[in-house]
Every structure is written in C-alpha cells, then in structure tokens.
Structure 1
Amino acid sequence: MSMASRMQQPLYILSEDSDRTRGRAAQDSNVAAGKAVAEAVRTTLGPRGMDKMLVDSTGDVVVTNDGATILNEMDIDHPAAQMIVEVAESQEEVVGDGTTTAAVLVGELLARAEDLVDDDIHPTVIVEGYAEAARLANEAIEASVLDENLDDDLLASVAESSMTGKGTGDVAATHLAELVVQAVRAVEDADGEIRDRIHIHPRAGAASSATEVVDGVVVDEEPAHDGMPREVEDATVAILDAKLEVRQGDVDAEYSISSVEGLNAAIEAEDAELRGYAETLSEAGVDVLFCRKKIDDRVEGYLADAGILAFESVGSSDASEVARVTGAKRLGTLDDLEESDLGHVESISIERYGEDELAFIRGGDAAEAVTLFVRGTTEHVVDELERAMNDAVDVVVAALDDGGVVPGAGATEIAIAAHVRDASAGVEGRKQLAIEAFADAVDALPRTLAENTGADPIDTLVDLRALHDREGRAGVIAEGRTAHVGDPLEAGIVDPAAVKREAVESATEATTMILRIDDVISAE
C-alpha cells in the first residue's frame, strides 16, 4: 500500500453514538444557552421585578422572584447553561443574594463577547480583557464602600433593599427588615457563626405583619399526651435517643405462665419498668423530655401524671437544635442520669396554628439563638417570604462580616462601568475592546433595573451617567409605576459590598470558562 493511500484512510476515535460540535458552532451554541438562561431571570431584577411560576412534573407550583430558586427549579440540560446555574448556586452559598445580578451579568458578558468574536478578536484576548476588567471592577467597588458605621438603620436598609420586590410589598419589607436586624443584633455577640444562630420558621395562616422574632427556637412538635402541661416556666430539659417502652431481649424466648398470679406478676413487673422511666425523670427534676423514639402509651400517662411535658419521635435536626439551645446532652439511656446531662430554658410553650401545634422554646442557657417566625396568608406567599427573609439575613450578616456596604439601585454598577471604561483607554492592543465590552455589560444591569420599573432604559442610562459624573453617585429609584434617577443613599437603598464582589468574580469566571470551549463532544 502506498503512502498516499494510507493517508486517505479515515480514522475514527469517537464512537458512532457521539455527537461533536466544533469551532464557532460550539461557541455559538454555548453563548446562546448562556444568554437564554440570563434572559429567563432578567425580568425579576429589581424592586419592580416580576415573578416566575414554576410547575414540576408532579404539578407542584413554586411562585418566586428569587434567581437561585428559579434556576434550581428549571429543568436545564445544556451543559453551558448548567454552568450559569452553578454561578447562581455559588453566589447564594457565599453571600446569599445577588443571584439574578450574577446570572444577568454572565448573559451580558457572553453577548458582548459574541460581538467581539464576530470582529475576529480571539476568545483568549477577550478572556484576558475580562480578567483585567474584573480587577478594575473590584477597585471601583472598594472605592464605593461607605465610610459610615453600620448602625441599625443602615443594616435595615440593606435588608429592605434585598427583600423589596420579592413578594413582601414595600410596607411589609420595611417591617420585616427591622425584624431581621433585631434578630442579627440578638446573636452577633455570641460565640460562633452569626448565621448559624438565626433560624427561620415559616407558617401560613396570617398576614406578614404577624411575623415576629422569637428568643429561642420553634419546632414542629406537639405533646405526646393530652394530659401534659402546655406551658412550662424555668424548664429543665432532657433529650433521649432511646425508646421508652418495655425492653426487649436480644434472643427469642418463650415464657410459660401457669397461673393468674404469675400473669399478674408479669404485668406488674412490666408496669413497674414503665413507671420507673417517669420516676427517674421526675426525681432528676426533668420538666420537659424530647424523645427521639417512640414512647409507650402507658409511659406517656405516667409522665403526664408527673407533670412532665414530653415529645416523642422528635426529628434528629430538631433534637440537635434543642440540645444546642438548652445545653442538654443527647442521652442513649436514662441510667445514671445526672444534673450535668440536663439543659435549661426560660419557658417552653405549646401554641396552636390552624390544625398544627408548635413548641416555642425560649431563652436557652447554652447558646443564644433566635427564630424569625414568618407568617404569610397562603403557602405560596409564606414560601416566598421565607426565601426573602433568608436572603435578608444573609446580606445583613455579609455587610457586618465582609467589608461594609455600597450604594444600591444600580449606582455601584454605574461606578464600575465608568471606572473600567476610563481605565481601558490606557490598555494597548485588542484587549482594550474586551475591557470596554465588560463595562458595557455592567451597564446593562442598571438599564435592566430601569426597564423593569417601566422607565425608558436608554434615557435612564444617559441620565445615570450624567448624574454620576456630577455627583459621584447615581441610581434608579423606583417610584410608583416608573422610576427616576437620584441618590440611592437619600432613598435608603444600599447593598453589601460582598454581594457585588462575588457577582463580578463568579460571573467573570463562568464567562471565561464558556468562552474557552471550542469543542463539545457529547455521548448518547
């Protein structure tokens, strides 16, 4: 066989079932997928953002404005689109808010990159330009951080900015923001992570104005017996990880009882064992028992007679939370029960909400903890309020822990775009165009804010740039069904700097990863 004929033999390295997309076609597919995901959440951005209704295959409905929830609930198959979902998840995990901002920014960066590739600029050049622009963006964020002390009013503004537009209503958002700050302040001096000590317990059946801060924790548990007390003050608490019933042997055995006296003796021995559980707890001074396993009906009666409030089949997470709050140890047996095994709280009360009963555990000894008991008129409303409150707590903690706050309402994005655009003039080569494109992409965020409030996006962007040049600070202030350009600080609109930093960093990383792909090989 000649050399020429050997050269003409086709070489197959992929299976016939594989699908391969290369070069520009692969880039176009990935960019289109990224833009589509961003477009899905774009209209939720800002205080007048719209909600999405997500219905799964079983008919369950989620109505939400939260970017992370929307992207998680969507059934996304495209691998490049999945990367943007991961950006939102990372944003949510690190700072708790700004997921929509990050997703929209990825879409805009990809759209600008697509135009640059059309102009024959290599993706590697774009990647280098975007990396430099991200560094410049962080400089602008640091320069925008407010020097003011983080007092309660400023933190409430941070919380309110996070919640506005997420199903809370403007008036409710103000009230809920104050409760969030109250909860954070209650535990900020305690040892350990602030966020771990703040719990959110949603319950439908009342307006959001009924939301309250509970000094302690709330668990979905009801008394094991109707005769037990429904409120215990200055309570001593025990937590048991074992069943309270007649002990079973390790081997199968049969017992022969030949007389009534023998039967009565067996019953009395069994009864004495069950009564002994209640006596042991009572003698140790236990007022409230949380039992992870089943409690025999007779033991429940004896506990009720002894005035002990008991809960059975308590979930593991609830038991752990009660242990942490009260200082009680989780016990495998009631043998050798000592005072050091027990915990203490100011009060435990049972309160009824609709058909359910909840246990409110207030004022624990071992650890400070608070619960935001969130109310909403329906399950869908209270679910969205829960998401909004979680984000609000996260951003207040982020503001306290991670470097302060910056002006909101798009003002920081305008400052970023201006700084990046100014600095791009000093960059040589084609990378300058990528840096300018980054600034244009960031500009799209305040433009989208304006669009979602009903204002003209182009006119608003021009006005924002002009006011920023004059005053150094300009944002989109929602007003009724439209918006005006003004100082966000005067309107009390601020965001944690950490949210902006994370959005820029995660969006740039995801865009970079997508742009560097020029070959997609997928197996069936």
Structure 2
Amino acid sequence: MQQYGGGPEMNAGIYREGTEKTGGRDALSNNIAAGKAVAAVVRTTLGPQGMDKMLVDSIGDVVITNDGVTILQEMAIEHPAAKMMVGIAKTQDDEAGDGTTTAVVLAGELLKTAETLLDQDVHPTVIVQGYRMAQEKAGKILEELSFAVGPEEREILTRIAGTAMTGKGAETTKEHLADLIVEAVSQITDEEGHADVTNIRVEKKVGGSADDAEIIEGIVIDKERLHPSMPGSVTDAEILLLNAAIEMRKTEVDAEITITRPEELEGYLAKEEEMQREMVGRIIASGADVVFCQKGIDEFAEKLLAKAGIFAVRRMKKSDMETIAEATGAPIISSLDAISGEELGYAGKVEEKRLSGERMVVISGCRNPHAVTLVVRGGTSHVVDELGLAVEDGLRGVGAALEDGKAVAGGGAVEMELSRRLSAYGSGVGGREQLAIEAFASALEVIPRTLAENAGLDPIDMLASLRTAHEQGMTTAGLNPETQEAVDMRAAGVIEPLRIKSQAISSAAEAAAMILRIDEIIASSGAGAMPSEEEMAAMQAMGGMGGGMPMM
C-alpha cells in the first residue's frame, strides 16, 4: 500500500509533547470518512420528499429544518475536514442562495469514488488532476444545457421560485408564495432588468397561516411608536437615525449620591430633566419628525418627543437601522452632539399600521424606491422560520436566474446528462486521468439516486430509466417522484438557476481536491484527538439514519 508524506524517522523529535500525527493513507482515510459523514447527515434532506432534522442545542432551543447550511451551522462540528464540508455549504449559500445540500452530498460522493481509486493504487495527485479536468468540462456542458430567462418570463421565474421552495415546508402554499416572490422581485427590478433581492426584507410573524403572506411596498419594522400621543402617521418624513441613547448615562465606576433634604432631591431631578430637555432639543432643532433609535429612550424624553409631534421608535435592531439608512439616505449618527440637521433621510410616509393583527411601523416612498417587505406567517415559530428560509431561497433563486439570465432543468436531469457526457469525455482523454473523470461522472449520479431513495423508490430502476431517456436524447429528463418515471423537467416546471448547479459542482470538486491533497494531519497538544475509524463509521451510520454528529 502506498504511503504519502514522510515516515516517522523524518519527523521524530520535532513536535511538542502531546502532539498527535497521522500520515499517509491513514490521514486520507480519516479525512475522507469525515467528509462522507457530513454528507450522510444532510443526504436524507434532499429533494421534495426529503426529511427534516431536529437540532437541540445545549440550552434546549430546538431548530427543525431541512436546510443544509442551517443544519451544518447548528451542529458542533470539530473535525477539520468536516469543517471544510461546512465551508462548502456556506460558500454555496453565499454565492447561489440555494443548493447547499446538493453541494455537500456531491462532495461526499466525490470522496467516496476517490477512495475506490485509492484502493486501486491511483495516486491522489492523479485523482485531483482528473477531477479538475472533469470540473472544467462540466462547466462548459452546463452552459450548453442552459436556456435564457428574463424579467418578462414570469411563469418561468415562478417555477424557479417554486422549485427552490420544494420540500421545505411550503408545499401547501408554494404557488401563492412563488407568485408573491416574483411580484416582489418585479417591484425592485430596475429598467435595465437588474434585481437586487437584498432590497426585499422577509418579516416572519407567528400567527395565522402561510396563506396570509403578503407584500408591503416599503420597509416593515416589527416595532410600535413609543407613545400613543405621538402621531400615528407622518407624511414627507424627515428621518433621523440614532445609535445613541436618549437617556441619562450610567457612570463607569460605582458612585453614591447622598441626599439629606427634599430640595436636594428636587434639584437633582430637575438637573436630569434639564439634561434630557437639551438632548431632545437637539433632535427638535434638526428638523427631524421621525426618530429611529438603536438604543434606549427615557420616559421623560419620550414625553418631550411626543409633545413635539415626533414619531419615535427605540431599541431598533442594527440590521433594521442599516436597511432604513440605505432606503432613506440617512446616515446612522453615533452621538447626539453630531446632530446638525444635514444628516436627515427622507420617506414619503412613516406610519404605524396593523398588519395581520399586530402593530408595525411601515416606511414607504423612500429615496431608494426599491424597498419591499414580504410578510410571512405561520402557526408556530418553527413553521414560520422554515417558511422564511424557503421564501429566502426562492428570492435568491429568482435573483440568481435574473442576474445571470440562465436556468437549467432540475430533478436530477442536469446531473444525469453531465454524467453521460463526462463518461464519453473521459474515454477520449485516456491514461489514469480517465479513471478519475469517470469517477467524477459516476459521482454526479448521487443526486438523482438520492432523490429516488428519499422518495422511497428503487434507485437502481429509476437510474436505469433516466439513463435510457438521456441516451435517447432527452437531455432534460429527470425524476418525478409522484409518477415514478423519467419526465421532461423543463416542461414539468422543475427549473433551477444555472448558478446553483455550476457553483455546487465547482465547490464540491474543489473541496474534494483539497481533502485528497492532505497527506498528514498534525494535531497540536490540546487541540483534541482525531476521531478513530470506528467513530467515523458510527457517525456515518447515524447520518444515514437522520441522526446528528455528537462526536464531531
């Protein structure tokens, strides 16, 4: 059996006491096992019939989801190679907005097929070279398989949104939510056809049902005005954003004030009121009639603001402040002394409205008109959180399709066609790289195979059916779990942005190559021992059953 890296005689005596070192094939096996274990955990969540995971943290908080990146980020993963798999999911989520499970499952399968080649004494460098050739060729084939999509093609965009939400707890209201997503995106699309979906906020509220979801033109803040005497609505609002408290500061050191007479107490309180009048006076002098404060506002200052007819909200989230700043053009002021009146933002209207039975603040008619809020509702916090994730995936999927102007058929169709064409490409390459290219092609079939397994179908029969359809020239043939047959995914409306597939394949190939190039693991003293092969096998078994990875 081949050994990669230096032997023990080359490394003796150079490490700190307690350092653990694993080299050669043992290091590769250890890392490959970790990668496969992570892939096994999320594999059962893939597709419309994918299962959910229940994640319970150390304080008892529960998260129920089948979103790949959420699952991996919530897990306490320690193994360095496993962390690289988590990195795949995060990169996929950042770049494409969806397809995180696909990327991780594919990376795990690439490691699995590489392990078979390693057993045949194929060197890791040869495998990595073959994988890179296959990745590059796959990118070109994907471009050929893609088709154009634009802002005017509402039906295709709705299908893309629906595909992104499939299997994520939104099945009963998927069509309604998909229509809302496309409508929201159309409202923020500029004349050149560009749509920045970060301008669309998703506000999640417990209560009602998923059918109660709605679009609000403007920014919706889950807050109420401070005082009932404040105006409920302000037109042509001059907005001040404060990251400074409108209240008395607490001393940084312990201090004690001794008051012996009533007039001393009155004088102390009068001084406090005077200082707060001065604070509020600066706000009034600026000309602001709406104040959003990230910190606290004292009760006395609150009354002064109400008396001046100023609409005020306190304890704002940083993310909300940044959203309002971008929409209204108002900078966030960190000190009351810096208020001059020149830093006010503008909105056509700021009002407190009752939405779905709850009072919220709505900011509309902003300087940046591309501001839309999608209010999502559900019966429980777990339901609404999952619906929120589904809607965000749908938004980013539509945004990616519009930004690139290209989409592909889903349902495993792309992976099957890639597998077929890459196998043919590998035959023409020859040499040992051919083995790696064919292994890459074989690994791509894990996606339709997993879709079949998660739907309770026979994966061998379904793969045979798909291969036959693709060999007959049906390049968009994918798996329909309901009819249990190969169908035209584009005609069936199962469509995904090109970016999701290209990024998933790219990320998976790069992560597999990085893991395969590691020939030695050196764990410094105190870094913790690497899991044994038995522990890895146990983790993989738990992952396959839908369990967690407590030993990582």
- TM-score range (shorter-chain normalised) is 0.7 to 0.9
Preserved contact between residue 48 and residue 478 of structure 1 (Cα < 8 Å): no
Moved more, 264-273 or 104-113: 264-273
CA distance in 2, matches of 1:448, 1:200: 31
Following TM superposition, by how much is the alpha carbon of 1:156 offset from its aligned partner in structure 2, in angstroms?
1.3
2:164 aligns with 162
1:84 aligns with 85
CA distance in 1, matches of 2:248, 2:119: 78
Give the AA of the match of 1:519.
Answer: E
Following TM superposition, by how much is the alpha carbon of 1:277 offset from its aligned partner in structure 2, in angstroms?
6.5
CA distance in 1, matches of 2:13, 2:282: 77
Following TM superposition, by how much is the alpha carbon of 1:19 offset from its aligned partner in structure 2, in angstroms?
1.9
Match of 1:44, SS state, is coil
1:21 aligns with 22
Match of 2:316, SS state, is coil
Preserved contact between residue 141 and residue 501 of structure 1 (Cα < 8 Å): yes
Moved more, 337-346 or 82-91: 337-346
1:432 aligns with 434
Q: After superposition, what is the alpha-carbon deviation per residue over 1:112-161, rounded to whole angstroms, capped at 9, x for unaligned? A: 11111112222211111111111121122111111454511111111111
Following TM superposition, by how much is the alpha carbon of 1:476 offset from its aligned partner in structure 2, in angstroms?
3.5
Following TM superposition, by how much is the alpha carbon of 1:442 offset from its aligned partner in structure 2, in angstroms?
0.3
Following TM superposition, by how much is the alpha carbon of 1:478 offset from its aligned partner in structure 2, in angstroms?
3.5
| Change in 2 beyond 3 A, CA 1:137/1:241 | closer
| Change in 2 beyond 3 A, CA 1:308/1:15 | closer
CA distance in 2, matches of 1:428, 1:30: 29
Preserved contact between residue 188 and residue 194 of structure 1 (Cα < 8 Å): yes
1:512 aligns with 513
Match of 1:206, SS state, is coil
176, 191, 201: which one pairs with 1:199? Answer: 201
Preserved contact between residue 288 and residue 341 of structure 2 (Cα < 8 Å): no
Match of 2:204, SS state, is strand
Following TM superposition, by how much is the alpha carbon of 1:477 offset from its aligned partner in structure 2, in angstroms?
4.2
Once superposed, what is the RMSD of the aligned Cα atoms?
A: 3.3
Give the AA of the match of 1:36.
Answer: A
| Change in 2 beyond 3 A, CA 1:241/1:41 | closer
Give the AA of the match of 2:54.
Answer: M
| Change in 2 beyond 3 A, CA 1:508/1:301 | same
Specify the structure having the higher radius of gyration (Cα): 1
After superposition, residues 109-188 of structure 1 pair within 5 angstroms as 109-149=110-150, 151-169=153-171, 171-188=172-189
Number of aligned residues: 512
1:67 aligns with 68
Moved more, 41-50 or 368-377: 368-377
Relative to the length of structure 1, the TM-score reads 0.88
Q: After superposition, what is the alpha-carbon deviation per residue over 1:403-435, rounded to whole angstroms, capped at 9, x for unaligned? A: 510111111111111110111111121211111
CA distance in 2, matches of 1:316, 1:158: 32
Moved more, 269-278 or 295-304: 269-278
Match of 1:360, SS state, is strand
After superposition, residues 22-421 of structure 1 pair within 5 angstroms as 22-149=23-150, 151-169=153-171, 171-189=172-190, 194-244=196-246, 286-331=288-333, 332-333=335-336, 337-338=340-341, 341-351=344-354, 357-421=359-423
CA distance in 1, matches of 2:326, 2:414: 40
Preserved contact between residue 203 and residue 374 of structure 1 (Cα < 8 Å): yes
Provide structure 2 residue ranges, at least 5 long, that are not aligned to the other structure: 1-8, 526-552
Q: After superposition, what is the alpha-carbon deviation per residue over 1:274-316, rounded to whole angstroms, capped at 9, x for unaligned? A: 5677677667764322234433323322332343321133343
Following TM superposition, by how much is the alpha carbon of 1:175 offset from its aligned partner in structure 2, in angstroms?
1.3
1:5 aligns with none
Preserved contact between residue 98 and residue 397 of structure 2 (Cα < 8 Å): yes
CA distance in 2, matches of 1:225, 1:193: 38
Relative to the length of structure 2, the TM-score reads 0.84
| Change in 2 beyond 3 A, CA 1:431/1:342 | closer
Moved more, 394-403 or 487-496: 394-403
Preserved contact between residue 204 and residue 378 of structure 1 (Cα < 8 Å): yes
Following TM superposition, by how much is the alpha carbon of 1:272 offset from its aligned partner in structure 2, in angstroms?
7.2
CA distance in 2, matches of 1:367, 1:106: 41
| Change in 2 beyond 3 A, CA 1:510/1:244 | closer
CA distance in 1, matches of 2:43, 2:276: 62
1:4 aligns with none
Give the AA of the match of 2:365.
Answer: G
Give the AA of the match of 1:351.
Answer: R
Following TM superposition, by how much is the alpha carbon of 1:457 offset from its aligned partner in structure 2, in angstroms?
0.9
Preserved contact between residue 420 and residue 436 of structure 1 (Cα < 8 Å): yes
Preserved contact between residue 190 and residue 368 of structure 1 (Cα < 8 Å): no
CA distance in 2, matches of 1:453, 1:185: 34
CA distance in 1, matches of 2:460, 2:105: 18
Give the AA of the match of 1:183.
Answer: A
CA distance in 2, matches of 1:146, 1:238: 47
Following TM superposition, by how much is the alpha carbon of 1:353 offset from its aligned partner in structure 2, in angstroms?
6.5
CA distance in 2, matches of 1:337, 1:365: 20
| Change in 2 beyond 3 A, CA 1:149/1:219 | closer
Following TM superposition, by how much is the alpha carbon of 1:88 offset from its aligned partner in structure 2, in angstroms?
1.0
CA distance in 1, matches of 2:219, 2:11: 69
Following TM superposition, by how much is the alpha carbon of 1:221 offset from its aligned partner in structure 2, in angstroms?
2.4
Match of 2:451, SS state, is helix
Preserved contact between residue 476 and residue 490 of structure 2 (Cα < 8 Å): no
Give the AA of the match of 2:81.
Answer: A
Match of 1:409, SS state, is coil
CA distance in 1, matches of 2:138, 2:210: 38
Match of 1:142, SS state, is helix
Q: After superposition, what is the alpha-carbon deviation per residue over 1:59-108, rounded to whole angstroms, capped at 9, x for unaligned? A: 11111111111111122222222211111111111111111111111111
CA distance in 2, matches of 1:221, 1:139: 50
CA distance in 1, matches of 2:321, 2:240: 10
2:425 aligns with 423
Moved more, 262-271 or 136-145: 262-271
Provide structure 1 residue ranges, at least 5 long, that are not aligned to the other structure: 1-7
CA distance in 1, matches of 2:300, 2:140: 69
Give the AA of the match of 1:522.
Answer: A
Q: After superposition, what is the alpha-carbon deviation per residue over 1:313-352, rounded to whole angstroms, capped at 9, x for unaligned? A: 3343323322222233444448885477342233422437
| Change in 2 beyond 3 A, CA 1:119/1:173 | same
| Change in 2 beyond 3 A, CA 1:361/1:207 | same
1:3 aligns with none
Moved more, 471-480 or 34-43: 471-480
| Change in 2 beyond 3 A, CA 1:515/1:378 | same
